[in-house]
């Protein structure tokens, strides 16, 4: 085991050396490979064939210029990215993020996570991620359209339903997916529905895709609680963010009888002890594109805290649903001290390594994003299935499929954690289960 640990340390040092300045990517790699010691001991040929080293190197990285003109005639230049990380299980699959914080290291961390997340779903999809440092906030629809058209003018040549299938992520919702698909169709003269997911159900999108990451995350939490003889009913919950993932996590929590008392955006936190009124959040965020602080204009009983920390609000279930590293060690300590018994990560890598350590050591039900937020990409795969067969499923049927997939992801992580001597540790379960599926396919394909 000592020898294997030395090897893993060497691999990590090499990743840091070869990818300087990409802190989030380093963090994501470390989290995965630190779980793999027992796997290499059991399967030494993974080490001989340098599977980990190969997985850490993306198959292809595309970086491109995205010039566009704003409503006043001024020219802007953004940078576009697509990191096609691994395609042994299927076409590259992973969302696009438009946010000013985007740089290569963010896209690589997200793409790397996506490989294992997609593998754990059991669906035939590879891992990728993309995006741009473009900020859609405050931009008119026409500006967002011109940006999306310019972005797709370059990206289209790298996509295809059998090659690479993007979807949404932060800053890329139904509006952006529409503009992106429209430009793809125009450039290629092909109505290739399966080239992008998260489309409107009016033109090839799957019902439930919009709800799927949030719903799926809550289903995962429900499974973790069930495994402990508990349920969500009556639980007090806090959900960070108020975007796609957060809104539909809140919706499913409420449907399952839990009480959501807080949500947030990047400016501040709403605490509504009488229960968050989701209709208001949806109107503010999905329709009017306003700030969450405006919630208190309608619901005077609620409290808004500018720059506040949502994790200071006492809850039994916490769903980080905003962004990476939003929940640090101090926040984790506060959550645990306030009686939190379950954390389900709707966002990607929202907990810092210190917070993860505390959650795992405390023995609470902790579902890492790689497992808990896999409902989004799974429903994207269901959308691809419907596109390939030119079919459209009902909401009820699709939600039932999502529920089953989340239950399977839970079982796979749970059983793998037990097999490797860490019962109840979903971090180990998800990382090992995902890694093994990818590793086996890579071995089968030879050195490629």
Among 131, 241, 429, 434, binds ligand NDP (CB under 6 A): 241
The radius of gyration computed from the CA coordinates of the chain, to the nearest angstrom, equals 21
Q: Is 434 in the site for ligand NDP (CB under 6 A)?
A: no
Return the residue nearest ligand NDP (CB atom).
243
Q: Which of 117, 129, 185, 436 is labelled catalytic?
A: 129
In DSSP terms, which residues pair with 222 in a beta bridge? none
Q: Is 94 in the site for ligand NDP (CB under 6 A)?
A: no
Among 346, 367, 368, 429, binds ligand NDP (CB under 6 A): 346
- Residue span 165-194 as binding mask against ligand NDP, x where in contact by CB under 6 A, dash where not: ---xxxx-x---------------------
Among 243, 344, 368, 434, binds ligand NDP (CB under 6 A): 243
Angle at 368 between CA 56 and CA 54, to 5 degrees: 10
- Whether 346 contacts 237, CB under 8 Å: no
Place of tokens 């997911």: 197
Under DSSP, the state recorded for 435 is H
**Smallest separation (angstroms) from ligand NDP to the CB of 13:** 28
User: Residue 318, SS3?
Assistant: strand
DSSP assignment of 142-186 = HHHHHHHHHHHHHHGGG-BTTTEEEE-BTTB-HHHHHHHHHHHHH
Judged by beta carbon, residue 36 or residue 321, the one nearer ligand NDP is 321
Q: Is 262 in the site for ligand NDP (CB under 6 A)?
A: no
User: Residue 221, SS3?
Assistant: helix
**Footprint of ligand NDP on 316-345 (CB under 6 A):** 321-323, 326
Among 150, 373, 387, 425, binds ligand NDP (CB under 6 A): 373
Strand order in the sheet with 164-167: 60-69, 75-86, 127-132, 92-98, 164-167
**Smallest separation (angstroms) from ligand NDP to the CB of 431:** 17
**Smallest separation (angstroms) from ligand NDP to the CB of 339:** 25
Stretch that binds ligand NDP, among 79-87, 254-262, 263-271, 306-314 (CB under 6 A): 263-271
Stretch that binds ligand NDP, among 32-40, 60-68, 238-246, 440-448 (CB under 6 A): 238-246
**Footprint of ligand NDP on 374-403 (CB under 6 A):** 376
Q: Is the dihedral of CA 197, 131, 125, 250 positive or negative?
A: negative
**Smallest separation (angstroms) from ligand NDP to the CB of 63:** 20
Residue length of the chain: 448
d(CA 323, CA 166): 19
Q: Is 266 in the site for ligand NDP (CB under 6 A)?
A: yes
Judged by beta carbon, residue 37 or residue 268, the one nearer ligand NDP is 268
Asked about 93 being catalytic, the answer comes back as no
Q: Is 280 in the site for ligand NDP (CB under 6 A)?
A: no
Stretch that binds ligand NDP, among 56-64, 239-247, 385-393, 397-405 (CB under 6 A): 239-247
Q: Hey, what's the torsion of the CAs at 374, 380, 381, 386, to 10 degrees?
A: 150
d(CA 109, CA 189): 33
Stretch that binds ligand NDP, among 3-11, 261-269, 302-310, 360-368 (CB under 6 A): 261-269
**Smallest separation (angstroms) from ligand NDP to the CB of 366:** 17
d(CA 248, CA 180): 24
Stretch that binds ligand NDP, among 23-31, 64-72, 237-245, 300-308 (CB under 6 A): 237-245
Q: Is 19 in the site for ligand NDP (CB under 6 A)?
A: no
d(CA 14, CA 25): 13
**Smallest separation (angstroms) from ligand NDP to the CB of 321:** 6
Number of residues that bind ligand NDP (CB under 6 A): 24
CA max distance for the chain: 63
d(CA 318, CA 238): 5
Cβ-based neighbour number of residue 182 at 10 Å: 15
**Smallest separation (angstroms) from ligand NDP to the CB of 80:** 17
Residues 6+ apart with CB under 8 A from 379: 206, 208, 209, 212, 216, 398, 402
Place of tokens 């593998």: 119
Active site residues: 129
Residues in touch with ligand NDP (CB under 6 A):
168-171, 173, 213, 241-246, 265-267, 321-323, 326, 346-348, 373, 376
């Amino acid at each position: 085991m000592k020898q294997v640990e030395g090897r893993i340390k060497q691999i990590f040092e090499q990743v840091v050396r070869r990818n300087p300045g990409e802190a989030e990517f380093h963090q994501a790699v470390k989290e995965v490979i630190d779980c793999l010691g027992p796997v290499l001991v059991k399967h030494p040929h993974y080490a001989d064939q340098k599977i980990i080293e190969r997985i850490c190197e993306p198959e292809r990285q595309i970086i491109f210029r995205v010039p566009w003109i704003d409503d006043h005639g001024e020219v802007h230049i953004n940078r576009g990215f697509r990191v096609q990380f691994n395609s042994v299980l299927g076409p590259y699959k992973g969302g696009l993020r438009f946010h000013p914080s985007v740089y290569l290291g963010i896209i690589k961390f997200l793409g790397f996570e996506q490989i294992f997340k997609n593998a754990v779903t059991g669906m035939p999809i590879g891992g990728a991620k993309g995006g741009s440092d473009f900020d859609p906030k405050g931009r008119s629809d026409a500006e967002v359209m011109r940006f999306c058209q310019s972005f797709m003018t370059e990206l289209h040549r790298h996509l295809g339903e059998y090659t690479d299938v993007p979807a949404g992520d932060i800053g890329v919702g139904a509006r952006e997916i529409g503009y992106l698909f429209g430009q793809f169709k125009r450039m290629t003269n092909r109505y290739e529905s399966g080239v992008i997911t998260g489309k409107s159900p009016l033109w090839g999108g799957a019902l439930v895709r919009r709800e799927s990451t949030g719903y799926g995350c809550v289903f995962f939490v429900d499974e973790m609680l069930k495994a402990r003889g508990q349920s969500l009913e009556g639980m007090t919950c806090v959900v960070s963010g108020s975007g796609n993932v957060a809104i539909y996590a809140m919706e499913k929590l409420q449907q399952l009888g839990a009480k959501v008392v807080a949500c947030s955006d990047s400016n501040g936190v709403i605490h509504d002890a009488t229960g968050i009124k989701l209709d208001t959040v949806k109107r503010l965020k999905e329709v009017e594109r306003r700030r969450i602080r405006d919630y208190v204009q309608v619901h005077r009983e609620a409290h808004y805290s500018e720059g506040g920390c949502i994790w200071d609000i006492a809850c039994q279930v916490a769903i980080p649903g905003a962004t990476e590293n939003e929940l640090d060690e101090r926040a984790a300590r506060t959550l645990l001290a306030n009686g939190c018994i379950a954390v389900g990560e709707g966002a990607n890598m929202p907990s810092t390594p210190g917070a993860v350590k505390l959650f795992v050591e405390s023995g609470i039900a902790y579902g890492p994003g790689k497992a808990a937020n896999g409902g989004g990409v799974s429903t994207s795969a269901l959308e691809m299935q419907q596109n390939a067969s030119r079919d459209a499923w009902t909401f009820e049927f699709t939600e039932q499929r999502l529920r089953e997939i989340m239950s399977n992801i839970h079982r796979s992580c749970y059983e793998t954690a037990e097999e490797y001597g860490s019962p109840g540790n979903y971090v180990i379960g998800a990382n090992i289960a995902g890694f093994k599926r990818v590793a086996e396919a890579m071995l089968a394909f030879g050195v490629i």
